[in-house]
Amino acid sequence: MTSSTGFTGRWSKNVSWSAFFNLWASVILGDIRIGAIFLLALMTAPLAVGFFLYHVYLVWAGMTTNENAKWGYWKDDIEDGLVFKANRSEIYGEHGPENESPAPRTFWPAQSDQLLAVTDGEPPKVGYMLSSRSNSVIQPDEPNSPIDSRWIRISSLADVENIYDLGFWGNLQDVLKLL
C-alpha cells in the first residue's frame, strides 16, 4: 500500500529507536494535554502492575486482602508463643458448639477439625472457657489447675491449616469461576 508521501507499509518500520523516542518526545512537548496524559499514565502504570502482582500473590496464597491482615496477626501471636491448637472434635465432641451456625454449602473444603485459641502464653488449663466473641481462652480461677493435654502450642504458621487454599491453580480456577 502506497501513501501520498511515497512510503509503503508501516511508518515505523525503518525508524530507529532513537528517532522513535525523539518523535514521541516532540509530540509530548508539542501538545501539553498529550504530554500530561502520557506522564500521568507513565507514573500510574507501576501502581497498576504492583496491584496486579499483589493480587496474583493473594491467589497463590489462597486468601483475600482481609485474610492477609488476619494471618499477619496470627503470625505475630504465634511468634510470641500465645497460640494453641486442638482438634475441634476433641473439644466439642461430635456436634460442635451449640451457638455455631452451619457453614454455607460450597464445593471446596469449608470445614476443618482444627481449633485455634490465643492465651496469655500459658497453655489452656482444665476448666478453661473459650470466649464466644473471640479466639481467646479464659483460664480457670484456680491457679494450680492442671494443663489440658489436648492443646498444643503452635510454633509456626505452617502448622495452621488454611481451608481456603486450594493451591495456585485451584485458587485461580476458583477466582475465575472455572471449577
- How far is the C-alpha of 86 from the C-alpha of 108, rounded, in Å? 23
Closest residue by Cα to residue 133 from 109, 110, 117, 154: 117
Over the stretch 150-165, which tens digit does the pLDDT of each residue have?
A: 888 988 888 888 777 7
Copy the grid coordinates of residue 119: 492465651
Residue 48 confidence (pLDDT): 96
Decide: residue 25, CB within 10 A, 0-12 exposed, 13-18 middle, 19+ buried: exposed
Separation of alpha carbons 47 and 149, rounded Å: 50
Residue-wise pLDDT for 111-145, tens only, equals 677 888 888 888 888 888 877 777 777 777 877 88
pLDDT at 67 over 90: no
Q: CB–CB of 82/118 below 8 Å?
A: yes
Q: What is the pLDDT of residues 4-63, one digit of tens each?
A: 555 566 766 778 889 888 988 888 888 889 888 988 999 999 999 999 999 998 888 877
| Residue extents of the structural domains in the chain | 17-58, 64-97+108-163
